[in-house]
Structure 1
């Protein structure tokens, strides 16, 4: 159990679930060629999970002192797992994940794509050691890396199978994946800001320069609330243009009840939140919004088939 906690297995399971969902609940139903076989796609998911797991391990190593203040019950490095063992696990996960990435890049005859895995692993390392201490930049990096876990599906499964005859359809599908990646980026960026508010005491003691340390908790919460208006408006427009216009009313109802309504709740609640418990609750709300947002791909796909 201690090793599962070290790699934050719940987050990794959600990441794997998201990637499996996009392929088998969406792409597989589109009657298009895909570049990877099922077992090769399983390797892509595994590679993503291993590199993300390595990122959590290195983050736990460098966050030990901060976590002793913010989340003492979650400290693993130095207690259940030694620092040296932590580094060994980190190296093993990264080498395996990047190695699989090299293999898959050669499978699709794009060996240069292996640099994507190296860059992601490097960014996770530099985030833990340096970038997370730079105000807002660390939040942007984490949000970008989550978005990349969606984009990478298109890079490895759609792009290599694109030919002149199916280019329009493949471009459209890649565009849908990009829309979901942007949604994941925006929600996760806001969630990272809320998590900074939760961790403000430990971060301050470690001399970090996060947004709530620089401008205060109350102002940061208001900024998070205002920022959330952007995805809220964009989603309203998206629902109108793509769901309502195409008569996808089940998907529209789903989006209003399980994505837009919780977003509105978050916007209002953030203005009044004060305690760490309240911000932890808001962080969970955003995690659920992200989950239900990703699940909407299933609802939309089923709604299209139902209408047909």
Structure 2
């Protein structure tokens, strides 16, 4: 059970859910040409979650000092699992993930795609050991990697299946994935900033230089508030541009995506305590889930 918490199983389950939704709620109902058969698609999911889990582990290893202050009751590495055991698990998951990525790249005859997994794995390590300490840069990098967990399905399943006949359709559906990846990037970016504000005391004692340490808690809150407006504007644009004739979809996005986004932005603007920031961070997790569940609506949107 400790290992499940170490790899942040809730985040892992969200990745699995999103990739399954893309394949079986977005691609299959429209009979989109895909490159991976069912077995290889599940290997792609396994590859993604192995590398993501490894990234979560190395992040916790480097966060031992800050976690003793920020969340001592939730510490796992150094308390419930030894640092050496955690590092061994990190290595094992990386080897499995990158190895499967190598196999998948060759199976679809796109050998250079293997470098994507190597770069993601390396970036997760660099983020945990170095970039996380830098104002805003680390937040942006980890948010890009979150977005990649969506785009990777298109890269391995849609792009290799493009022909002269289906090119227009394949590109259309890849653009849908890009839209969701941008949404995931923005939501995660706001959440990362909120977490930095929430954890400012432990990060300061560990001599990190996150955004709230560099410019102050209040200024960082205003930055987070400003960025939180971007997904709101993006969702409004999406509704007005693509969903204006789909009442079910409009209702879902207004109630379950736009409403929570507006609520969270207001909360950011008025937040002052660690408890309030934690509440906002949890809220953005829920918004991410609700946003991805909207993939179930596409049989109605594109009918």
TM-score after normalising by structure 1:
0.96
1:265-291 alpha-carbon deviations (Å, 9 max, x no partner)? 111111111111100000111111111
Give runs of aligned pairs for residues 73-84 of structure 1, distance below 5 A. 73-84=73-84
2:258 maps to 1:260: yes
Q: Name the residue aligned to 2:177.
A: 177
| Aligned match of 2:34 | 34
Question: Cα offset for 1:127?
Answer: 0.4
Asked whether 1:154 is paired with 2:148, we answer no
Instruction: Report the alpha carbon displacement of residue 38 of structure 1 after superposing the two structures with TM.
Output: 0.7
Is the CA contact (8 Å cut-off) linking 1:66 and 1:206 kept in structure 2?
A: yes
Matches within 5 A, 1:78-227: 78-227=78-227
Alpha-carbon RMSD across the aligned residues, in angstroms, is 0.9
Q: Distance in 1 between matches of 2:301 and 2:248?
A: 6
| TM-score between both structures, scaled by the size of structure 2 | 0.98
- Native 8 Å contact 2:26 2:298 kept in 1: no
Aligned to 1:251: 249
Cα distance per residue 1:136-170 (max 9 Å; x no partner): 01000110001001111000000000000000000
Q: Partners in 2 of 1:302 and 1:139 — Cα distance? A: 35
Offset of residue 304 of structure 1: 4.1
Q: Is the 8 A contact 2:135 2:210 kept in 1?
A: yes
Count of residues in Structure 1 that have an aligned counterpart in Structure 2 = 303
Q: CA deviation at 1:300?
A: 3.1
- Indicate the residue corresponding to 1:285 in structure 2: 283
Q: After TM superposition, give the deviation of residue 32 of structure 1 in Å.
A: 2.1
CA contact (8 A) 2:243 2:301 kept: no
Aligned 8 A contact 1:248 1:304 in 2? no
Q: Distance in 2 between matches of 1:248 and 1:216?
A: 44
Give unmatched runs, 5+ long, in structure 1. Answer: none
Structure 2: gaps (5+ residues): none
How far apart, in 2, do the equivalents of 1:300 and 1:39 lie? 24
